[in-house]
Amino acid sequence: MQQAEKDFYPELEALRGVAALAVSICHVWMAGAPHDRPFAAFSFGDWLQYALTSLSSSEGAVAIFFVLSGFVLSESLRGKPLLTAEVYMLFVVRRLFRIMPALVVAVLIAQAIRHSYFGASETWSDIMLTTLLLTADLRIDPPLWSLRVEMAASLIFPLMVFGNRLLAPAVQGTILVGLLCWPRIRWSQELIIVFLFCFQLGLMVRTLGPLINRVPSWLASAFFGAALLAVMLPTNLSLKGYLGMHTHVAIEGMGAFYIVAYVWARRSAGLTRALCTRPARFLGRISYSLYLLNYPIAAVVLSHMGIADGPFSLPLALTAAAVTLAVNIGLAVLLHRFVEVPFMRAGRWLQSLIGSTRSHTSTLGEASRVAT
């Protein structure tokens, strides 16, 4: 049964953890991927690597992150009847405390690895300045492009939420098409605008998700299987030149939307139970730190094992994945415990302080008006 009156869903948190795990594995298995060779020239190892990197598609997982963010963040604003300056300010404060502290620490770790292990020459002041401005050099930690999108989306997301409340589903669908058809502009700006498509889909989960319960169970499950393929396949196809950015984002976003809506609507009790197990919930809790740290750790492991650019070997790939995950999970637990959690608490404290201060000011103002 759907739990309609809460804004925390353990099964969705766990889904985020599974997606973060897929990203971590994918970055190991993508080393030396044969994207520059036609399918006709693939060896058995090439096909095996292509299959594994498709099963753990990193950008498909990121599409799930964005749809989840769109849904969960909209749930956090569901009890707010109007978009006031206070509502917007409190939302942005909470997002800043949620995203930036762990991001800064992760960039420092990545840069320390680049300096000590790979001999990088960037200055620390430049690294921190560009990180705080969300323009960090992607050579430090390439997956951080998604955090640029996440923060840019967060700044306009309250406007999207309250705007959608005024729009019929058909108009919301028109917005989706418009985001995908946005004219090609500078790459970084286009990246943000195109992936707003996924946030818009997240906003529509509560509207369209219940429709899943109206179709036969076997058909809903078949759609779920198709959604998994839609999330897993497009990135590899795009890397070989078969799909453009807008097309593969559209396919992955729609697949991610259905997966999130399916899990939220609790169509499958078995899937929900699996996502609510302790290991899945654990991955969900540390998913942000897991995602932030996976690339530099994978780079060190692959380089140390000598397989960063060599031919694909399944035993070596599995070994590298196991080592990377072990180190990644260990560091993610520390980053979550000593950075994420304290700063999330600080963000909530600051929110309550701002709220109580404004409430006290309003009370004094009312009392003054009554007295006069």
Nearest Cα neighbor of 35 from 20, 54, 18 is 54
Alpha-carbon span 24 to 16, nearest angstrom:
12
The mean per-residue pLDDT over the stretch 300-315 comes to: 82
Q: SS3 helix, strand, coil % of the chain, rounded to 5?
A: 80, 0, 20
The alpha carbon dihedral of 255, 261, 265, 270 has a sign of positive
| Mean pLDDT rounded to a whole number for the chain | 84
Q: Collapsing DSSP states into helix, strand and coil, what is residue 57?
A: coil
Task: Decide if pLDDT at 243 tops 90.
Answer: no
Task: Decide if pLDDT at 187 tops 50.
Answer: no
Contact 245, 190 (CB under 8 A): yes
Nearest Cα neighbor of 260 from 205, 222, 211, 196 is 205
Q: Angle between the 10-29 and 278-285 helix axes, to the nearest 10 degrees?
A: 70
pLDDT in tens, 12-68: 999 999 999 999 999 999 887 877 888 988 989 899 999 999 999 999 999 999 999
Contact 318, 56 (CB under 8 A): no
What length is written for the chain? 372
The mean per-residue pLDDT over the stretch 167-195 comes to: 65
Contact 49, 29 (CB under 8 A): yes
Query: Where are the domains positioned within the chain?
Result: 10-361
Task: Decide if pLDDT at 363 tops 60.
Answer: no
179 or 83, higher pLDDT = 83
Task: Decide if pLDDT at 86 tops 80.
Answer: yes
pLDDT in tens, 90-110: 999 999 999 999 988 988 888
371 pLDDT band, cuts 50/70/90, is very low
Nearest Cα neighbor of 315 from 307, 326, 303, 304 is 307
Structure token digits, residue 17? 């953890």
Q: Please give the pLDDT value at position 264.
A: 93
Q: Please give the pLDDT value at position 127.
A: 66
Rg (CA), the chain: 22
Q: Which residue has the tokens 């030396």?
A: 32
Alpha-carbon span 177 to 80, nearest angstrom:
28
Q: Please give the pLDDT value at position 4.
A: 42
Alpha-carbon span 76 to 120, nearest angstrom:
41
Nearest Cα neighbor of 321 from 121, 55, 39, 14 is 55
Q: Angle between the 58-76 and 10-29 helix axes, to the nearest 10 degrees?
A: 160
Q: Please give the pLDDT value at position 304.
A: 86
Q: Which residue has the tokens 């804004």?
A: 7
Alpha-carbon span 370 to 310, nearest angstrom:
78
125 pLDDT band, cuts 50/70/90, is low
- Burial pattern 202-223, b for ≥16 Cβ within 10 A else e, equals bbbbbebbeebeeeeeeebeeb
Q: Angle between the 145-165 and 187-203 helix axes, to the nearest 10 degrees?
A: 50
370 pLDDT band, cuts 50/70/90, is very low
- Which residue type, as a one-letter code, is found at position 54? S
1 pLDDT band, cuts 50/70/90, is very low
Count CB-CB contacts under 10 A for residue 119.
Answer: 7
Q: What is the pTM of this model?
A: 0.89
Contact 10, 274 (CB under 8 A): no
352 pLDDT band, cuts 50/70/90, is confident
